[in-house]
Amino acid sequence: MEKKNFVEQFEMGIEEEFATEVRVGVRMPNLSSLEYIHNPEENFVEKLEYYKNAYNENMELNSFNEIQIETIEFFHCEGGFWSDIRDFD
């Protein structure tokens, strides 16, 4: 994933009032599948700034480029039920 696309998607999620959680899929060395990091909407702005500073243009961690962000998804939780937000319109 390119940083430009990641940032654009994250900014759309911040603007989406329905989004209550972001989930970022991270490729880690020696793991067979992605690790997922979840953050609530209260952290969206701060997490985006972190990702902008900590990751390069290919979304590889600056301090260890074998760690790479591959996916970003936004969700809405209401009454214990989760909905995946795929279309921000």
The pLDDT score that the predictor gives to residue 13 is 92
- Which of the four pLDDT bands, split at 50, 70 and 90, describes residue 7? very high
Q: Which helix (H) or strand (E) holds 73?
A: strand 64-78
Q: Which helix (H) or strand (E) holds 22?
A: strand 21-27
- Domain ranges across the chain: 3-85
| pTM of the entire predicted model | 0.87
| Cα gap 65→29, rounded to integer Å | 10
Is the per-residue pLDDT at 89 higher than 60? Answer: no
pLDDT tens per residue, range 22-80:
999 999 999 999 999 999 999 999 999 999 999 999 999 999 999 999 999 999 877 66
* Helices 44-54 and 3-15: angle between axes, nearest 10 degrees: 170
Task: Return the residue matching tokens 């009454």.
Answer: 79
- SS3 label, residue 42: helix
Is the per-residue pLDDT at 87 higher than 70? Answer: no
